[in-house]
Amino acid sequence: QKEVEQDPGPLSVPEGAIVSLNCTYSNSAFQYFMWYRQYSRKGPELLMYTYSSGNKEDGRFTAQVDKSSKYISLFIRDSQPSDSATYLCAIGSGGSNYKLTFGKGTLLTVNP
Amino acid sequence: GAGVSQTPSNKVTEKGKYVELRCDPISGHTALYWYRQSLGQGPEFLIYFQGTGAADDSGLPNDRFFAVRPEGSVSTLKIQRTERGDSAVYLCASSLLSSTDTQYFGPGTRLTVL
C-alpha cells in the first residue's frame, strides 16, 4: 500500500461547478498536510497547508483533514477555466515535516 | 523577486552517460530539496540540504546519484551511468530558513535517457 493514495482522474467539470479532490494516507504519524497545484510543464505551487483536523478556507478553496479516517480533501467553489491543472496532495514527515510525500495528482479540466 | 531556476530545462542523453542538473534557489533560502517526478506520478523526495550539508539523502535511489551544494546556494544533482529508467522531471525546491517553511519549486529539468 502506498503511503498516499490519490485518484488520478482525469476530472472534467463545467465552469462554476464545485470540485472535490481527495487523498487517503496510511501513516498516522503524518502531521502536515498540503495541496499543491501544478500547471503543465511547471513546478508545483503551494495552495494550502494545515497541521490539524478540520477545515481551512482561503477564498474559493477549502482544505479538509480528517485524521481519524486518514482522509484529506480539497474543495474548489465556483471553478474557473484557470483552475485547470493537476492537483497534488502532499504530506510532510521527517523531523520537521520537510520530506514531502505526494499523491499521484488529479488532472482537473474546467470547461468554459 | 526571482523564483527557483533550474538549468537546463531539457536534457537528452544516451544511456551510460553522465549528466549534471543545476538548481539556483531563491536568494537567501538556506534549505534546498531535490525531487524526481516520473510521468503520471507525484514528485518523489530525493535529498534535502540545510546550508552546505546534506541533512537527508535517504531518497537517492542508488549510488549513481549524488548532489552537492558547496557554497550553500546553487546545487548540482549528478547522475552517473544514466539508465533509461532515470528519465523523469527533476524538480528543485527551496525554503527560507527551516524545513518547516513553505517549499517553492522550480520548473524542473526534463531528463530523457535514450
Q: Which of A19-28, A50-59, A92-101, B68-77 has the weakest average pLDDT?
A: A92-101
Across the interface, whether the CB atoms of B107 and A105 are under 8 A apart is answered no
Residue B99 is predicted with a pLDDT of 60
- Using 50, 70 and 90 to split pLDDT, how confident is the model at B5? very high
Contacts of B43 in chain A (CB under 8 A): 44, 88, 100, 102
CA quadruple A42, A47, A53, A57: dihedral, nearest 10: -150
pLDDT at position A13: 97
Q: How far is B46 from chain A (nearest CA, A)?
A: 9
pLDDT at A97 over 80: no
Rounded distance between C-alpha atoms, residue A56 and residue A54, angstroms: 7
Query: Is pLDDT of A94 > 70?
Result: no
What are A15-31's pLDDT values in tens digits?
A: 999 999 999 999 888 88
Q: What is the largest CA-CA distance in chain A?
A: 44
Cell 526571482 locates to B2
B98 pLDDT higher than 60: yes
**Number of residues in chain A:** 112
Count the Cβ atoms, other than its own, within 10 Å of residue A96.
Answer: 16
What residues have CB less than 8 Å from B70, skipping those under 6 apart?
B52
Residues in A touching B103 (Cβ below 8 Å): 46, 98, 100
Asked if B1 and B102 count as a contact pair (C-beta separation under 8 A), the reply is no
Cα gap B7→B1, rounded to integer Å: 18
Rounded average pLDDT over B48-52? 92
